[in-house]
Amino acid sequence: MRRLAPTCEAERSTEPKEAIAMAGNQLHNFSADEVERRQYRRINLQFPLWWMKGPEASAVIAGIGVEISGGGIQFLLPEPIPQRACTIALRINDRNVRANIMIVLAAAVVYKDQPMHHHRAKFLGLRDSDFDFIIALTSAVPVATGAGALRTKNSIGSLESYDMLPLKIKEEIVRTLVSMKRLAKPRETHLALMVAHYAGLQAADEGSVPFHRFSIRTKMDPGGRGMMVFDTHFLISEDGTKVLIRE
């Protein structure tokens, strides 16, 4: 996947020279709504995003936003963010937004056959006007069904695309299919010849983590008698700790 080149005016200039100014009442006070922020409506949306890696104009790493809410954001970058707190810029509907964030979860993934790093973060500093814009945006867009929104505190989020699954989950799926003689062992996990289809969310018992259903189609000649097509159904827990075969 090619890097997204920053094109908005803020990214073409010598910014960022500093993080968002924390003065006056320009910033939304997240500490005042710590409980409510967990209930903010989340939407899946792709948009250009940039990590402000350093104060120099060239120290900008382009990425892709994949989910946003009034309380936080999920995005992909070609490299991991080593520190917990940092500054990002994003553009949605021609609006440029700067925000201070805190990384709460990061994982290596493969997106469109390219290694990426999936970050989940909460907003620490955001202008009131930008906060209002995000709330209006998420309220106006219908929430995706299935795995489109985070549902549990420990969710790994946005599982409806096989490309968005963490690498360790993909590796387990491939190992399982190889052991079942339904897939030839690939040189690398992302080179495995398969077609993946998201089949929806499976409701969990009260207090349990829900599972997402994936149907994986593969071809294999298990005994030298000709190529066969296999459909294998996997259940993946939303917290990313379990990968099961659905009989």
Q: What is the pLDDT at residue 138?
A: 83
Please give the structure tokens belonging to residue 202. Answer: 């499976």
Burial string for 139-174 (b: 16+ CB within 10 Å, else e) reads eeeeeeeebbbbeeeebbbbbbebbbbbbebbbbbb
| Region of poorest pLDDT, from 57-61, 105-109, 218-222 | 57-61
Domain spans of the chain, in order of start: 9-140, 162-245
Distance CA 214, CA 172 (A): 13
Residue 91 identity (one-letter amino acid): R
What is the pLDDT at residue 81?
94
Q: Is the pLDDT of residue 200 over 70?
A: yes
Q: What percent of the chain has pLDDT over 70?
A: 71
Q: What is the pLDDT of residue 51?
A: 95
- Ranking 32-46, 94-108, 151-165 by mean pLDDT, the lowest is 151-165
Amino acid letter for position 109: V
Mean pLDDT computed over 36-52: 81
Alpha helices in 17-94 (DSSP H): none
Between these two residues, 98 and 18, which has the higher pLDDT value? Answer: 98
Of 107 and 161, more confident: 107
Order of strands across the sheet that contains 243-245? 195-202, 211-220, 228-237, 243-245
2-30 pLDDT tens trace? 333 333 333 333 333 333 333 334 666 66
Domain 9-140 has CATH 3.40.50.2300: no
Whether cis (ω within 30° of 0) applies to the bond prior to 48 is no
77 pLDDT more than 70: yes
pLDDT at 239: 75
